[in-house]
């Protein structure tokens, strides 16, 4: 049954994203696959849609998703990556350290949360695969490089998504009704996050990253696959051993 809250334009955009992801997965040419997946990611960020489908209850529903960040040396790097993606989709993130591991809470519109979850798990697996291949002279040096790599990776993803959102905003005419609608949407998310999270304490500043690992992570992010399904199944790093 068609959701009356979904407009024909939104339906067409979702279909286009699906086709782009299918083309990225189906082609044997890596350059074509990257072009298709990047275009899909641009549409997701620009139009705030889910690449799989808009939520049945419509874009007006707001919620909080929980995402496990695990334990060990890479937790803050994972958090940085999640925050970068969430900010690019107009969502807010807080986290809580538990005995079993750290959990992040992401607040926003349901359709944005779907996109955040998909991109985070995809990009984290890609980063983990690259990090797992890195070895240094000692276990401590290897861990330090990998940790710095993840921070650099997250920083570049933040830049890429922010640029996509800015370019989309710049294309809007100053008199467009979409501009005040975007501002109102941001205010709704801010108010919802305050209601859900209450008083939040600032976290202790993360340890500095090494330049070599940080730059390597940024380079890897530039070449990242932003949507291809073939990455599912790659191993993720564990506790930072």
What are the angstrom distances between the C-alpha of 47 and each of 16, 88, 135, 216? 12, 11, 40, 30
Instruction: Report the pLDDT value the prediction gives residue 82, as an integer from 0 to 100.
Output: 97
pLDDT bin (cut points 50, 70, 90) of residue 139 is very high
Q: In the predicted model, is pLDDT for residue 156 greater than 70? A: yes
pLDDT in tens, 7-40: 656 667 776 776 676 666 555 566 666 777 777 7
Q: What is the separation of C-alpha 21 from the centre of its chain, rounded to a whole number of angstroms? A: 16
Q: Within 10 A of 238 (CB to CB), how many other CB atoms are there?
A: 12
pLDDT over 90 for what percent of the chain?
44
Q: In the predicted model, is pLDDT for residue 73 greater than 90? A: yes
Q: Kindly give, in sequence order, each residue whose CB lies less than 8 Å from that of residue 219, ignoring residues fewer than 6 positions away.
A: 156
Instruction: Report the pLDDT value the prediction gives residue 240, as an integer from 0 to 100.
Output: 38
What is the C-alpha separation between 82 and 150, in angstroms, rounded?
A: 11
Tokens describing residue 125: 């697996």
Q: In the predicted model, is pLDDT for residue 97 greater than 80? A: yes
Q: What mean pLDDT do residues 113-121 have?
A: 90
Q: Kindly give, in sequence order, each residue whose CB lies less than 8 Å from that of residue 117, ignoring residues fewer than 6 positions away.
A: 65, 67, 106
Instruction: Report the pLDDT value the prediction gives residue 115, as an integer from 0 to 100.
Output: 87
Give the chain's mean pLDDT: 79
pLDDT over 70 for what percent of the chain?
73
DSSP 3-state of 148: helix
Q: Kindly give, in sequence order, each residue whose CB lies less than 8 Å from that of residue 143, ignoring residues fewer than 6 positions away.
A: 73, 240, 241
Q: In the predicted model, is pLDDT for residue 234 greater than 60? A: no
pLDDT in tens, 170-203: 776 666 656 677 788 889 999 999 999 988 888 8
Instruction: Report the pLDDT value the prediction gives residue 166, as an integer from 0 to 100.
Output: 83
Q: In the predicted model, is pLDDT for residue 132 greater than 50? A: yes
Burial of 115 from C-beta contacts in 10 A (0-12 / 13-18 / 19+): buried
């Amino acid at each position: 049954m068609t959701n009356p809250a979904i407009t024909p334009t939104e339906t067409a955009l979702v279909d286009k994203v699906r086709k782009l992801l299918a083309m990225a997965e189906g082609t044997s040419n890596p350059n074509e696959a990257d072009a298709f997946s990047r275009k899909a990611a641009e549409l997701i960020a620009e139009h705030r849609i889910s690449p799989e489908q808009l939520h049945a209850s419509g874009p007006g529903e707001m919620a909080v998703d929980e995402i496990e960040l695990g334990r060990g040396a890479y937790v803050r790097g994972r958090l940085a990556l999640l925050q970068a993606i969430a900010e690019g989709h107009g969502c807010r993130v807080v986290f809580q350290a538990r005995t079993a591991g750290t959990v992040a809470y992401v607040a926003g519109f349901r359709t944005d949360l779907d996109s955040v979850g998909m991109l985070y798990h995809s990009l984290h697996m890609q980063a983990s695969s690259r990090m797992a291949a890195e070895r240094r002279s000692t276990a401590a040096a290897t861990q330090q490089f990998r940790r710095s790599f993840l921070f650099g990776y997250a920083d570049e993803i933040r830049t890429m998504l922010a640029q996509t959102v800015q370019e989309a905003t710049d294309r809007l005419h100053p008199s467009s009704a979409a501009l005040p609608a975007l501002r109102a949407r941001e205010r709704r998310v801010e108010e919802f996050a305050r209601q859900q999270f209450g008083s939040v304490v600032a976290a202790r500043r993360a340890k500095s990253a090494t330049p070599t690992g940080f730059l390597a992570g940024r380079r890897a992010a530039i070449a990242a696959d932003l949507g291809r399904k073939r990455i599912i199944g790659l191993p993720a790093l564990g506790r930072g051993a």
